[in-house]
Structure 1
């Protein structure tokens, strides 16, 4: 949210949703509030308790606590995994790197949780990254959420990035669910899709593709860390599916994004 002057028309406010509203406040009040909102003045402006109270009552002041610090393990090799690690780095996130084989070796144990063999500190989330079709071995890590570790996955098929739904809680869609749903949707073409996945051809991607996909994955991870399970909507953004309930496909040639609803495959009798 920001408050600003409109030449010749007084003050206005831009909501976090993108909506613009006129505000009947004197210029000095607007300037004082703006300095405080922007963080330039850490002390609330004196004498403006009613105005600050009005903004708070309208829901314009975000008084939620800062997001927690999380340890995120990026599992994968190559430039795309490097880009994901770089996009995640920053305040509130400690990034670790492992290859998938190494991760699986320390993951499988009596507790099922992933623990660093050197420090003994567990990881809060795992991001598996493949610059090619997702390997079937990812299904072995679908138990992560049951042991308190969030499970994010990014793969590339040709010129399409595939962001699988994050599995955060037990029962969320894992990689096995994604494979089953996509094979079912392929109908009679499912043998071709399965053979393509098994062939695992390298994706023809470059630095721009890596930056785009890494930014999208990092946004999902940071939203999870902050506890924002439901995506924001507003005047500039249409209603969107929660990340845990959608398969996101990114066209790397046009940057078009398509979100497909995806639910876990229910258990069935043998």
Structure 2
């Protein structure tokens, strides 16, 4: 058998008075018909024992687990590839500090740009973003995104650098999809899609461009900042190890979803988002000339 043990999240339980049952990674229970198979040998085999199935019935059950995708031979915690370890972090420390801690624990090498808050809200050119040859650039804002701030960063995927970002608008935070290749969703695409999806597009555009009048400020709590950092770190880890999209995520690929986080309840909702195609230009046509009359 090529796969040796139950995949992460898959468990087998003995049901009193009945046969075995498998609990899938999605949390569903399925009955397992073992017939005359040795249950102890089966459970030992599914737990990772290297002994081969002793009889045909045991072999059949193990084979059924493998075909259903419930077995794996992959390491449960693959290492972060060396070529993708360098991660540059920009933005507000309330978000970049917990993110850096998560990334370091996962095996990445985060580099936080130390600068005062004001310069972090200023545009940067592409050469500056590519300084020290990062594998990915992450930009986190504890506030709305000023017009033009991320224009240069949107060109990072065309240079082979992954691009991930998040920002806060009042009590709502947005974790945008990671862009890793030309044609992926950029911050400009997100803004265009959000404007197109709301009847209050003029108000939203005005909110982004400012100025805004606020009362008591919204403060990111430690749990809220930790949640946002964890979502970003997980996206980066999945990109780094080329992990497949998790099943049960609503069918939305990670690079085609926008996540909205309610900072009051820490509720995360996902919304599909696609790149915005470039507007087709009208073909240029020569004006028709009227035939000249004789005489």
Q: State the TM-score, normalizing by the size of structure 2.
A: 0.72
Please name the residue that 1:195 is paired with.
209
Paired residues, what number? 251
| Within-5 A mapping of 1:255-266 | 255-266=266-277
Matched, 1:45 2:51: yes
Please name the residue that 2:127 is paired with.
108
- Structure 1: 5+ residue runs without aligned partners? 37-42, 117-121
Matched, 1:57 2:72: no
Aligned partner of 2:20 among 11, 34, 46: 11
Q: How far apart in 1 are the matches of 2:90 and 2:189?
A: 20
Aligned partner of 1:149 among 137, 142, 161: 161
Q: State the TM-score, normalizing by the size of structure 1.
A: 0.78
Please name the residue that 2:232 is paired with.
217
In the alignment, is the contact (CA less than 8 A) between 1:164 and 1:247 conserved in 2? yes
Give the structure with higher Rg (CA).
2
Deviation at 1:140, TM superposition (A): 1.1
Deviation at 1:83, TM superposition (A): 1.4
- Runs (4+) of structure 1 exceeding 6 A deviation are none
Aligned partner of 1:89 among 104, 107, 130: 104
Deviation at 1:214, TM superposition (A): 1.4
1:197-238 CA distance string (max 9 Å, x none): x669874211011011112222222222232454412xxx6x
Aligned partner of 1:205 among 220, 235, 239: 220
Compared CA separation, residues 58 and 178, structure 1 to 2 (3 A): closer
| Within-5 A mapping of 1:211-250 | 211-228=226-243, 230-233=245-248, 239-250=250-261
In the alignment, is the contact (CA less than 8 A) between 2:176 and 2:187 conserved in 1? yes
In the alignment, is the contact (CA less than 8 A) between 1:229 and 1:243 conserved in 2? no
Q: How far apart in 1 are the matches of 2:108 and 2:25?
A: 24
Deviation at 1:52, TM superposition (A): 3.9
Compared CA separation, residues 81 and 20, structure 1 to 2 (3 A): same
Deviation at 1:57, TM superposition (A): 2.6
* Higher deviation after alignment, 257-266 or 204-213: 257-266
